[in-house]
Amino acid sequence: MPLTTEEIILDHGFPGTHRAVTVHRFGPARTDAAPRPKAYIQAALHADEIPGLLVAQHLLARLKAADAEGRVRGDIILVPYANPIGLSQAVLGTAIGRFALSSGVNFNRDFPDLAAPVADQVLGRLGPDAAANVALVRRAALAAIAAWETATEADSLRKILMGLAIDADLVLDLHCDSEALIHAYTGTESWPDATDVMADLGCRAVFLALESGGNPFDEACSGLWWRLRNRLTAGLSGGVPPLPAACLAATIELRGRRDVDDALAGTDADALVRVLTRRGLLAGDAGEQPVPACQATPLAGVDRVRAPVAGVVLYTVALGDTVTVGQTVAEVVDPVTGIRHPARARAPGIVWARAEQRYTAAGAIITSIAGDRPLAEEGSGLLTAR
């Protein structure tokens, strides 16, 4: 059984209602500080991205089994549904889990950037010992989160999730795309450290950025470390105390919305167990690390192919196809004239996502290609749907 299973209530709910997140924590029984390493895994922060909800249940069963066998070595937190607000949203029978209906805000944006408050706390207190510096920064980050005075239920949720994850060594945020291959987003500084994670999961595309724009959850956790270092470096004239990027965080996109079945979820949960084993959180043999299924590419290199007109989408490429510049990836049929308008690739690379809907608005993204050269500026809103 988990060491603890806890319900944390969100603040700022409506009268007569409350929402909660369930938090399972595994680790060796302890009386002093929590063990290391620490891993934090959450599912469905975008609440209508269902594969992670099922993977979390498969993972939970595997963690319980590992715990019963006494194989848990580190501190493992599993949040099986990260967004009770989104899970309750629907419009005319369609689940709406990506944006808060009350505000239009994307649930995976606007996490706090803690670099400034943490810098204020640690300035002048960092020394030559990297491990001591990491511990100091983690305490300061937890204190900064605890001091955050939220005003909305969605920010209360962000505060709870960040409070659980910000001091972790490994943070995995389970999402999915519309129709997609399994892929992931992580920090440029987390590469190649994250290679084993992506290889174990079999990711077919991995996107790197330091600033995606909008401060999603994974970047709020990992980006603290490089933003803080930049901030401290700017204020120092002499030598800079050692401060490694001590949190590997990644958004894992578990294929498309409809890729929900026990076989896939079991495969993904097995992969996560291998990751936790390889990284010392579980005792056992993770086996040989698989050969990565792809090279990492810059998030700024993603070609988001947009529909030239509104109409019916007919794809001319499949997920996993490799395309060349100028290749038609879809035709959009104008239902008034019957004219077929080609949508073409701007970058060469693998097709890793397509829009599930077969009717599109003009200008909407219908296909995504993993180009290996930047098409956009870092920090310029590299993620879709702010």
Contact positions vs Zn ion (CB under 5 A): 46, 49, 175
Give CA separation, 204 vs 43, 212, 357, in Å: 20, 20, 22
- Nearest approach, Cβ of residue 173 and Zn ion (Å): 8
Considering the complex, state which of residue 194 and residue 254 has its C-beta at the smaller distance from Zn ion. Answer: 254
Considering the complex, state which of residue 18 and residue 258 has its C-beta at the smaller distance from Zn ion. Answer: 258
- Nearest approach, Cβ of residue 374 and Zn ion (Å): 23
Distance, CA of 146 to chain centre: 22
Considering the complex, state which of residue 49 and residue 259 has its C-beta at the smaller distance from Zn ion. Answer: 49
Q: Which residue is listed with tokens 């996502």?
A: 353
Which of 160, 37, 44 has its CA nearest to residue 98?
A: 44
Where does 235-366 have alpha helices with state H? 262-278
Give CA separation, 231 vs 114, 118, 122, in Å: 11, 10, 11
- Nearest approach, Cβ of residue 319 and Zn ion (Å): 17
CA distance 18 to 5: 18
Which of 324, 382, 364 has its CA nearest to residue 348?
A: 324
Considering the complex, state which of residue 50 and residue 137 has its C-beta at the smaller distance from Zn ion. Answer: 50
Q: Taken in order 278, 280, 282, 284, is the CA torsion positive or negative?
A: positive
Considering the complex, state which of residue 42 and residue 360 has its C-beta at the smaller distance from Zn ion. Answer: 42
Question: In angstroms, how far is the first alpha carbon of the chain from the final one?
Answer: 39
Considering the complex, state which of residue 24 and residue 175 has its C-beta at the smaller distance from Zn ion. Answer: 175
- Nearest approach, Cβ of residue 327 and Zn ion (Å): 28
Which of 64, 66, 50 has its CA nearest to residue 5?
A: 64
Considering the complex, state which of residue 52 and residue 241 has its C-beta at the smaller distance from Zn ion. Answer: 52
Q: Percentage helix, strand, coil, to 5, in the chain?
A: 30, 25, 45
Bridge partners of residue 26, in order along the sequence: 76
CA angle 192, 198, 202 (to 5 degrees): 145
3-state secondary structure of 322: strand
Considering the complex, state which of residue 175 and residue 183 has its C-beta at the smaller distance from Zn ion. Answer: 175
- Nearest approach, Cβ of residue 85 and Zn ion (Å): 15
- Nearest approach, Cβ of residue 209 and Zn ion (Å): 16
- Nearest approach, Cβ of residue 62 and Zn ion (Å): 23
Bridge partners of residue 343, in order along the sequence: 330
- Nearest approach, Cβ of residue 73 and Zn ion (Å): 30
